[in-house]
Chain A
Amino acid sequence: MNFIEIFKGAIQCLRGNKMRSFLTMLGIIIGISSVIAMSGIGKGGEKKITGSLAKSGFGVYQIKVDNESDNYRSVYNLDDSDIDLLRDSEIGLESVAARMSERITVKTGGRREPRGAVYATDTHFEDIEEVTYLSGRPILQSEYQDMVPVIVIDHVTAETLYPNLRSPIGESITLEFRSLKLTREFIIVGVFEHPEAGLSEAGLARWLPAYGRISLPLFNRITGDDEYNSILVKPVDPLEAQNVLSRAITVLEGKNTSEIYEYEERVARGSSFKEILSTLSLFVTFVASISLFVGGIGVMNIMLVSVTERIKEIGIRKAIGAKNNHILMQFLTEAIVLSLTGGLLGVLLGYFSAEVVGIFVNIEPIISPGIVIISLLISTAIGLIFGVYPARKASLMNPIDALRNE
C-alpha cells in the first residue's frame, strides 16, 4: 500500500466531511495566515524603510567620541579643530559636517507634546545627507552664520502639530532642550521628508521621534559652548569607506592620543521601525503559536471523533488483513492532510490579508518562499504531533470488538 493511495484516501475522507474539516482547520488557518501576513508586511516595510534610509544616509558615517559615562559633557567632545584636521587631511573625504544632537520636547501647550531630537548642524550638512523638502526651503547659509532662530522639521511632526494647515511655513515652534532645561522659539522655514516616513504611513506615526534641524552656531550660542558630539563624513569612494574612516580616526587620535573615537554608518541609526517591528512580530508570533496550538488540539479532537465514528471500518480493514501500521498511517495521513490543507489555506489567506493591509498602510508586502516553507512544515508537524494519539488508538483496536461496533 503506497503513500499516494493513503493520501488519496485521506483527501477523499476529508472531502466527505467538508464543513467539519474546514472548522477544524480554522485554528491552523488563522495561525499560519497571521504569521504570513505579519512577515509579509514586516519584510515589505523593512525594505521600504531601509530603502528611504539608504537614500538619505547611504555612504555617510558619523564619528563620535566614545563616551561611556552618562555625564558626557564633562568628557572630551568634538570641536572645530577636529573638523579642520579632517578637512585638511586629504584622506579621501568628500565632505565633513559637524553635528550636535539634543533631545527635545515640542512645547505645544496641549496634551500631547511630541518628543524627539533636534540636530544642530553646520552648512555642510546639506552636502552630506540628501534631504527632500516637501515644502519651504533648507536653512540658508546666511541664516547659519547669523544664528537666525529658524528650524526645518520633519513632515510627520509637522502634520501632527499643524493638522489643519496646508503648510506650517512661517509658524513658530517652541522647543524645550531637555538636558539643558532651556526653552527657545523657532520659526519653521522648511518641512523635509522624515527618513523613516514609511512608519507613519503604517499608522505608527506616534511612535516616530520628532526630528528637527537648526543652525549649529545658533545652538552654540544658546549653550554657550562650542563643542558637538558627532562629525558626519562622506568618503569619496564608498567602497573604500572602511580604510578612509580608520585613517580619519588616526588623524583625530594624533591630536588627542587617547583611543576615544568610534564611527558607524548612518543607515544603522534608523532602526526604530525595526524595533517596533520586532515587538510587533513577537506579539504576532505569540498569538499565532496559541492559535496553532489550539488548532492542533482541534485536529486531535476531530481525529478522535473520526476514529470513534469509523470503528466499524477499522474492524473491516483489520479483518481483511490491515496491519496496525496500515491503520496508523491511514489516520496519521488524514491528520497531516487536514493540518497541511489548513496551512495552505492559511498561506493564501495570509497573502491576501497582507495585500489588503498593505494597501491601507501603503506597504508592498513581501512574502518570502522561506516563510511559506516554514509555515507548511509547521502545519505538517502539527498534524503529525496531534494525530499520533488518535491514530495509535485506532491502530491498536481489537478487530473483533471493532467489527461488532455498530
Chain B
Amino acid sequence: MIYKKRKNVIELKGIEKIYNTGKDITLKALDNINLEIKEGEFVAIMGPSGSGKSTMMNILGCLDGLSGGEYLLGGTNIKNLNDDELAEIRNKKIGFVFQSFNLLPKLKAWENVALPLTYAGVHSKERRERAMEALDSVGIKDRATHLPNELSGGQRQRVAIARALAGSPDIIMADEPTGNLDSRSEEEVLEIFKRLNAQGATIIMVTHEENVGQHCKRIIRFRDGKLVEDEVIDHEFYRNI
C-alpha cells in the first residue's frame, strides 16, 4: 500500500515462538507476528520486559529458531536452514550490536572489528583495511590498537558498531545499544545510527526508552508476545517510499 518501490529486507508471516518451561507448561513468547521491514528503514522495537521484543530480535537475528510461521530474510526462507547456513546468514547479512558490547577482551579493537571478516574468509590484508574503514566511519580509528578494557563504554559500543558494519550487512540489528551508556555516549551512538541510516543502512533497534525510540523512523510495540502497535515517526520518509 504505502511501501511500494523499496524491497523487503524482512518479511514475517504468522511468527510464533513457544517455550517449554516445564513438563506440560508452555509459554507463548511470540504470537502471530506479521511484519515487513524495507530497505532504508530505521525501526525501533519497543515494549516492557517480557513483552517478546528480545525474542523477536533473536529470531530476526537468526540466533534462535521459530516455532511456527515463515521468516523471509532478503527473500531467503530461514526455516529450513542448518546451523552452518544460519551462521553464514548472520555473518554476511546481519550486523549485531549488543547492549553489553560483546567484544572479545583479548582482541584489539580492530581485530574485534575484523573478526566477522575472518569467518567470511576475507584475506588478512583486506580485513585490516576494511576494519580500519569501519572504525573510521564511527570516528574511532585512533583507538584501533587498544584493547576493549582500555576504552570507555561509548567507545566500545562504537567499536561494536564498526564490527557490525565491517561485513557490509543488509541489516543492522541493535539490542538495547544505549542501555549501558551515559547520556552523552547515547547521543553519539544514536547519531551514528542515524547517519548510517541516512547513508542507506537498514537498522532495527530494540529499546525500552521512549526518547531513544523517537530517533527512529518507525516504532513497533510489543505486549504479551503480540505486536500491538505500528507507529510511523518519520512521515516524510514513508510518504516518498
A contact set with B: CB distance below 8 Å: 1, 5, 12-13, 16, 312-313, 315-326, 399-400, 403
Q: Residue of A at shortest CB range from B105? A: A313
Knowing A317-B115, A400-B58 touch, does A323 contact B102 (C-beta < 8 A)? no
Determine the distance from Cα of A12 to Cα of B111 in the docked complex, in whole angstroms: 13
A-facing mask of B73-110, CB < 8 A → 1, else 0?
A: 00000000001100110111000101000111010000
In contact, B118 and A5 (Cβ under 8 angstroms): yes
Judge if B63 is at the interface, Cβ distance under 8 Å: yes
Decide: A400 near B64, CB < 8 A? Known: A313-B104, A321-B92: yes
Given contacts A5-B124, A400-B58, contact A321 B91 (CB under 8 A): yes
Q: A13-B106, A316-B104, A400-B64 are in contact. Are A323 and B121 (CB under 8 A)?
A: no
Q: How far is the CB of A168 from chain B (nearest CB, A)?
A: 72
Interface flag for B38 (CB, 8 Å)? no
The chain A residue sitting closest to B101, CB to CB, is A316
Provide the bound-state CA to CA distance between A318 and B87, in Å.
7
Residues of chain B lying within 8 A (CB to CB) of residue A312? 102
- Contact-residue bracket for chain B: 20 to 34
- CB proximity of B83 to chain A, nearest CB, Å: 5
Please determine whether B119 and A321 come into contact, CB atoms closer than 8 angstroms.
yes
Residues of chain A within 8 A of B163, CB atoms compared: 320
The interface residues of chain A lying within 8 Å CB-to-CB of B103 are 316
In the complex, the answer to whether A321 meets B87 with C-beta atoms within 8 Å is yes
**Mask: chain B, 111-130; 1 = CB below 8 Å from A; 0 = not:** 00001101111001000000
Residues on A with beta carbons closer than 8 Å to the beta carbon of B115: 317, 320
Contacts of A317 in B (CB 8 A): 104, 115, 119
CB distance from B33 to the nearest CB of A (A): 18
Asked if B116 and A321 make an inter-chain contact with CB atoms under 8 angstroms apart, the answer reads yes
B154 proximal to A (CB < 8 A):
no
Measured between beta carbons, the chain A residues less than 8 angstroms from B58 are 400
The one of B63, B98, B102 in contact with A400, judged by C-beta atoms closer than 8 angstroms, is B63
Q: Which residues of B lie under 8 Å from residue A315 when comparing CB positions? A: 102
Chain B residue at minimal CB-CB distance from A13 = B106
A-B contact pairs, 13 of them (CB 8 A): A1-B119, A16-B106, A312-B102, A313-B104, A315-B102, A316-B104, A318-B87, A318-B90, A319-B96, A320-B119, A324-B84, A326-B119, A403-B98
The yes or no answer to B52 lying at the interface (CB within 8 A) is no
Q: Say yes or no: is B61 at the interface (Cβ < 8 Å to chain A).
A: yes
Q: What distance in Å separates the Cβ of B24 from its nearest Cβ neighbour in chain A?
A: 22
Q: Please name the residue on chain B nearest to A312 by beta carbon.
A: B102
A318 to B89, CA, bound (A): 11
The binding surface of chain A is classed by DSSP as helix
CB closest residue in chain B, given A16 = B106
Tell me the total A-B contact number using a CB cutoff of 8 A. 61
CA distance A324 to B116 in the complex (A): 14
Query: Which of A13, A16, A323, A399 touches B63 (beta carbons < 8 Å)?
Result: A399
Scoring B residues 144 to 161 as 1 if CB is less than 8 Å from chain A, else 0, what string do you get?
A: 000000000000000000
Pair B106/A324 contact, Cβ less than 8 Å: no
**Distance, CA A324 to CA B119, complexed state (A):** 11
Find chain A residues with CB under 8 A from B102 CB.
312, 315-316, 319, 403
Taking A16-B106, A313-B104 as contacts, is the C-beta distance between A322 and B119 under 8 angstroms? yes
Contacts of B96 in A (CB 8 A): 319-320
Does the CB pair A319–B61 fall under 8 Å?
yes
Instruction: Judge whether A323 and B64 touch: CB under 8 Å.
Output: no
Q: Are the CB atoms of B63 and A320 closer together than 8 Å?
A: no
Chain A residues contacting B104 (CB-CB under 8 Å) are 313, 316-317
Query: Are B91 and A320 touching (Cβ within 8 A)?
Result: yes
A400 CA / B55 CA spacing, docked (Å): 10
**Chain A residues within 8 Å of B92, by CB:** 321
Most buried by B among A16, A313, A319: A319
Shortest CB distance B71–A (Å)? 15
> In the complex the two chains form, what is the Cα distance from A319 to B63 in whole Å?
7
A16 to B105, CA, bound (A): 12
Contact partner, B83, options A1, A316, A324, Cβ 8 Å: A324
* B residues in contact with A325, CB < 8 Å: 84
Whole-angstrom distance between the alpha carbons of A41 and B92 in the complex?
A: 58
CB within 8 Å for A323 and B83 given contacts A16-B106, A403-B63: yes
Chain A residues, CB < 8 A from B91: 320-322
Q: In the complex, which residues of chain B have a beta carbon less than 8 angstroms from the beta carbon of A318?
A: 87, 90
Task: Using A399-B63, A400-B63, A403-B63 as known contacts, say yes or no to A321 and B120 having CB atoms under 8 A apart.
Answer: yes
Closest Cβ–Cβ distance, residue B66 to chain A (whole Å) = 12
Closest B-chain residue to A321, C-beta based? Answer: B91
Q: Which of B90, B118, B124 is within 8 Å of A319, CB to CB?
A: B90
Q: CB-nearest residue of chain A relative to B61?
A: A319
| A399: nearest chain-B partner, CB-CB | B63
In the bound complex, residues from chain A placing their C-beta under 8 Å from that of B98 are 403
Docked Cα-Cα span, A403 to B99, in Å, equals 12
Asked if A321 contacts B88 (CB within 8 A), the reply is yes
The reply to whether A323 and B106 form a contact with Cβ atoms under 8 Å apart is no
Minimum Cβ distance to chain B for residue A136 (Å): 74
List the 10 closest A-B pairs by CB distance, nearest first: A321-B91, A321-B119, A320-B116, A323-B87, A400-B63, A400-B64, A323-B84, A316-B102, A321-B90, A1-B118
